[in-house]
Amino acid sequence: MPTDLDEMFIALGRQADTLPLGPAASARRRGRQRTRTRAALAAAAAVCLITGGLAVTTTHRRADPSPAASPLPTVGKPIVFGGTARNVTTAISGATAYAVWVAPDGKTNVAGADLRTGAERFPAHALGTFNQVNVVRALPKAVVVDVQEDMDRMLYILDPATGEQRWKLPLADGDDHVYYENDLVHMKMKTGETRAFDWATGDETWRQPAGADPVVHTVGMRMEADAPRAGFSDPRLIQLTKGNRVLIRDAATGKSLGNVPGQIAWGDPYLAYEGTLYTVVPLHYTEAKKVWSSYLIRETDLTAPYLSRSVRSGPAGRALQALAPCGRGKLCVLDTLDSANQLASIDIGASAENWRVDAPPTAFSLESSGGRVLAVGGRSNALYDTDGKQVLLPEDLAGAHVGWIGSAAVLSLSTSGEVAKVLVENGDREVIGSVPPGTTAWAWNNERLVAATPTEMRVLDLGG
Amino acid sequence: MEMTDDFDEFYRDTSRRLVRYAYGLTGDAAEAQDLVQEAYARGWQRWRRLSGYEDPEAWLRLVVNRLSLDRWRRIGVRRARAAAEAPLPPTPPPSEDTVLLVRAMRTLPPDHRRALALRYLLDLSVADIATETGVPEGTVKSWLSRGRAGLAAALGIEEHTTAREGVHHAH
């Protein structure tokens, strides 16, 4: 091995040797805690989004409240779990709210409630015994429960009307799965094979074996009109190969619609949006100049003749963390240098930055609506207007969990359980109520908020 | 108590190596420390069974590898935990070479990164890496070769292929 790389690995090892570790007792203590309480994995699993009735939820550990705001009114009666769960997740699709909870013995249950009346949609029943629920996605034709049992991960596909299990799909590291209206497309990293399964029956609808140039990533084509976290409405399935080619398939049949040579960087954020693929060439070091370059965003038109060009490089030394569309002809990027985050808006056509501002140091993803951008990072968030002005500062949202409600407002849930709606146009904040003490999971749409504690789920009226 | 003593002894004997591995995969000190603690926490949950494995350390590396790839976990768990636990002593800043290598490692596919960490931070043989990762030795050699080439490209270093590990075609 080249001497300089050899020496660099030795230096890396020595640096690792200086990292302090807690005693064995702290690992044992953490192990006991994992068994007793909800895993922090689920606590930071997803971001709560709201749109037109579709929502994914998150579970959180929350300091417990005596909020000043009045409790949000409960619609109907709460659905009681019959015990104290160690892991709870909720989701909404259409007119139904779902709760999935893990009892202390690992037994995992699902229940559904009518959002309009709060009445039980179907009685609670068991799915199986697992360590934890990673995430729940509620779609019009299926509810997908992603669970973990030791080292194994599984998707359970449920009937949205009854909560009954229809079929299940094991997942492995590196696998991709993409949700469409009628089926789920799964790319298995180990074999390079791509298959589609009917939501209702689990029957395989098509299969593409691994080619000589295996697929390494599979994504759907996002369209501006698509609701976040919903299935993809555009029928194109986009696959990136190890040989840096882009394959375009019909997601309904698996048939090839074309393939494109592309400068793809594995592992970096990329986006297929409105017929264009945005990929990122990562930063690299130039020894002669002793400088790091930066990331380079490239776009490839996914319709013939598949024109491709460089859009924009980031500032020197900055690494890309997240990429999201944020208005017509615009991309927003979150990049970082030594943990200092910045958010920038790029005019795609002009290959120019519209603006660049500081972002919360712990932000890791972007969610946009109506051209405005929410930089989300666990308990550190900020909201930016279309011109980069901060509508809500990290301090305003300190410790809160936030997400869009419609395109003109953000809903925030503070650590005290207070629920507030913030108009993005002027930052006006209205406290509309509070969730029950001990709430650890929630989901919302424009009219309802579903809140779950370790013992029950309630449908709450947002008064929208 | 005997089980606790066994686990603690195992922890003392293996934790330094696991930190090396985690740091090689992530390049982030805090992330590496947390991944290691989480792996041992899971190991403790299963210690009765795990202590009977032929190579429990390899099981822990598997956990670290999977957790390092777990996108959901990476996006906030570490910070939530750090707020809840007592802080560890500060570490000296890494050398410039380490910073460069860490950044370059992040540009590699996970398989290549993993193979390089096992080989050059833990001194595992190609055969051992093949056994641990469940792939043929030829694939491991390819990962090491392509990983090395990727690092060289990212760092602007001229790559020299050695007879010991050189592989000139994709797996």
Q: How does pLDDT run across B10-37, given as a tens digit for each residue?
A: 999 999 999 999 999 988 888 898 889 9
Interface test with A, best of B12, B79, B126 (most A CBs within 10 A): B79
Chain A residues inside the 8 Å CB shell of B89: 20
Q: Specify the amino acid at residue B63.
A: V
pLDDT tens digits, one per residue of A18-40: 888 888 888 887 776 555 432 22
Residue with tokens 């013939």: A304
What average pLDDT does the structure give for chain A? 81
Q: Which residue has the higher pLDDT, A42 or A61?
A: A61
Per residue in B42-61, pLDDT (tens digit) is: 888 778 778 877 789 988 99
- In degrees rounded to 5, what are phi and psi of residue A98? -125, 145
> Whole-structure pTM over 0.90, yes or no?
no
C-beta of residue A317 within 8 angstroms of C-beta of residue A347 = no
Q: Are A414 and A69 in contact (CB under 8 A)?
A: no
- What residues of B are in contact with residue A18 (Cβ under 8 Å)? 91-92
Among candidate residues A319, A308, A310, the one with its CA nearest the CA of residue A352? A310
How many CB pairs below 8 Å do chains A and B form together?
A: 193
CB A341 within 8 A of CB A361: yes
Nearest to B154 among A24, A284, A362 (CB): A284
Nearest chain A residue (CA) to B144: A1
Question: A7 CB near a chain B CB, below 8 Å?
Answer: yes
Q: Is A338 on the interface with B (CB under 8 A)?
A: no
pLDDT tens sequence across A344-394: 999 999 999 999 999 987 777 888 888 889 887 655 688 898 999 888 765
Q: What is the pLDDT of residue A187?
A: 93
Cα A377 to Cα A363: distance, rounded to the nearest angstrom: 4
Which positions in chain A touch B157 (Cβ < 8 Å)? Answer: 2, 4-5, 287
The predicted model gives B118-142 an average pLDDT of 90
- The pLDDT, as a whole number, for residue B160 is 55
On chain A, the residues whose CB falls within 8 A of the CB of B73 are: 41, 44
Q: Cβ contact (<8 Å) for B77 and A43?
A: yes
Flag whether pLDDT at A337 surpasses 50: yes
